[in-house]
Amino acid sequence: MRVDYLIVGAGFAGCTLAERLATQLGKTVLVVERRDHIGGNAYDYYNEDGILVQKYGPHIFHTDSEAVWKYLSRFTRWNGYVHRVLAVVRGKEVYLPINLDTMERLYDRSFTPEELERFFERHRVRVDEIRNSRDVVVSQVGEELYELFFKNYTKKQWGLYPEELAPEVTKRLPVRFNRDTRYFTDRFQGIPSDGFTRMFERMLDNSNINPVLLNTDYRDIVDSVRFDKLVYTGPIDYYFDYKYGRLPYRSLDFKFVTLDKERHQNAGVVNYPNEHDYTRVTEFKHFYMQKHPKTTICYEYPTAEGDPYYPIPKPEFEEIYLKYKREADKLGSVYFIGRLAQYKYLNMDQVVAGALELFEELS
Ligand code: FAD
Ligand code: UDP
């Protein structure tokens, strides 16, 4: 077989590039995917009870980029879901990120925004320079809230305490002085009306794109396909045969349970910072607004072994990554893009933005 582009991985990065190259430039494309489905970590499907679930944990699309939103909106409508997350602390359910409502429920008193600012001013720890994920939190809200919400959750999620992780991890959660209980404040957010997988199917529905080769590692076919350029969205260390050592990725075990009731919990995601071995519980019917007499929930148990889900933001791993990146930059017609290939804790919209940028370069 001969194609213009061989694309490794059928997630957001791979599908965006396949679609753009095929539609806009008329290039022929072959996508090869190790798993038995397209969509990467955003893959969703109807389980045996007919409930739409996400195989790799809660995925909510959100972006401030109008360009990214408009691009994906060619392939899907959105269901208007607004994500809210509850955390169970001291036996109470409170909203995250920390906001006025969270503080009132937690401390059983009312706060004005000014009172809350004064409260944090009294409790926050003065830090000269934000060096890690602990500094980010204690410098804003102080030790007590850090311990309640962040310390143990992070240890469970990453196997590391926040002081061992780069600031970008806990910087994902702001602190709010208003009553905005949404998890994300991006201008555009939601879940594809017919699910993520259907959106990916539409992206790949193009006569220049060959049927995706599923259940196939690219190495098994790379010598039997002729191509001009390679787009690689898998782990960068694997591409280079781990020559500079393995990059660690945090993994998760997902445990799905279907319950004989319509509704299980009060939000799409409920976090358990201080109890249980799991970090959070997702109930998918909140996301998809599906009507069904049963409901499926998913527990997330973080692990060191397993599929690579999270690059670990830590300076010493960034150094290893940069060694690989220098090798990658020397290769003429191989392009590394996406969360695994760039070893970066990227959200879906950032991956799409990166893929659209790479497409411009290739045009
Ligand atoms: P992936 O989706 O990982 O796709 C890469 C694909 O390449 C995979 O399907 C893989 O099987 C394939 N592959 C790898 N190596 C090979 C090989 N050698 N040969 C063939 N195929 C190969 N982002 C958000 O914006 N919002 C969220 O709510 C959100 N929640 C998340 C929750 C969890 C639990 C996780 C793990 C991530 C979450 N993300 C979220 C991040 C989101 O999953 C990623 O940004 C996005 O999936 C990255 O797309 P990608 O194409 O770079 O990688
Ligand atoms: N975090 C935490 N407690 C929480 C929620 C988040 O300590 O209840 C920290 C934790 O380190 C987590 C990070 O903030 O990994 C980012 O949270 P986010 O919800 O963005 O994680 P993701 O959905 O990417 O797993």
pLDDT digits over 106-120, tens only?
999 999 999 999 999
Mean pLDDT computed over 250-272? 98
Per the domain annotation, does 130 fall within a domain? Answer: yes
Same domain, 149 and 17: no
Q: Which band of pLDDT confidence, cut at 50, 70 and 90, is reported for residue 242?
A: very high
Q: Which band of pLDDT confidence, cut at 50, 70 and 90, is reported for residue 155?
A: very high
Question: By residue range, what is the domain housing residue 354?
Answer: 2-38+204-247+312-362
What is the CATH number for 237? 3.40.50.720
Mean pLDDT computed over 155-161? 98
Per the domain annotation, does 334 fall within a domain? Answer: yes
Per the domain annotation, does 178 fall within a domain? Answer: no
Give the CA distances from residue 282 to residues 133, 245, 257, 258, 347, in Å, rounded to whole numbers and listed in that order: 25, 35, 10, 12, 18
What pLDDT does residue 253 have? Answer: 98
Same domain, 155 and 6: no
Same domain, 222 and 346: yes
Per the domain annotation, does 226 fall within a domain? Answer: yes
Same domain, 162 and 15: no
The set of protein residues with a Cβ atom below 6 angstroms from ligand 2 is: 87, 96, 149-150, 153-154, 157, 169-170, 172-173, 271, 273
What pLDDT does residue 31 have? Answer: 98
Same domain, 34 and 127: no
Same domain, 33 and 98: no
| Per-residue pLDDT reduced to its tens digit, 34-87 | 999 999 999 999 999 999 999 999 999 999 999 999 999 999 999 999 999 999
Per the domain annotation, does 108 fall within a domain? Answer: yes
Same domain, 220 and 339: yes
Same domain, 154 and 213: no
What pLDDT does residue 199 have? Answer: 99
**Residue with the nearest Cα to atom 10 of ligand 1?**
9
Strand partners, 188: 63
Per the domain annotation, does 302 fall within a domain? Answer: no
Mean pLDDT computed over 333-355? 98
Q: Which band of pLDDT confidence, cut at 50, 70 and 90, is reported for residue 221?
A: very high
In terms of phi and psi (left: phi > 0; alpha: psi -120 to 50; beta: otherwise), the region of 328 is alpha
Same domain, 209 and 356: yes
Same domain, 221 and 124: no
State how many domains the chain has: 2
Q: Which band of pLDDT confidence, cut at 50, 70 and 90, is reported for residue 29?
A: very high
Q: How far is the centre of ligand 2, averaged over its atoms, from the C-alpha of 294 (Å)?
A: 28
The domain boundary, picked from 171, 188, 214, lies at 171
The set of protein residues with a Cβ atom below 6 angstroms from ligand 1 is: 8-14, 32-35, 40-42, 56-60, 217-218, 233-234, 252, 309-310, 338-340, 346-349, 351
What pLDDT does residue 243 have? Answer: 98
Same domain, 118 and 31: no
CB under 8 Å to 258, separation ≥6 — which residues?
47, 49, 51, 294, 295, 296
CA distance 91 to 283: 20
Ligand nearest to the CA of 54: 1
What pLDDT does residue 306 have? Answer: 96
Per the domain annotation, does 110 fall within a domain? Answer: yes
Same domain, 225 and 166: no
Per the domain annotation, does 58 fall within a domain? Answer: no
> What integer best gives the mean pLDDT of the chain?
98
The domain boundary, picked from 125, 151, 171, lies at 171
Which residue has 């996406």 as its token pair? 338
250 phi/psi in degrees, rounded to 5: -85, 140
The domain boundary, picked from 171, 196, 228, lies at 171
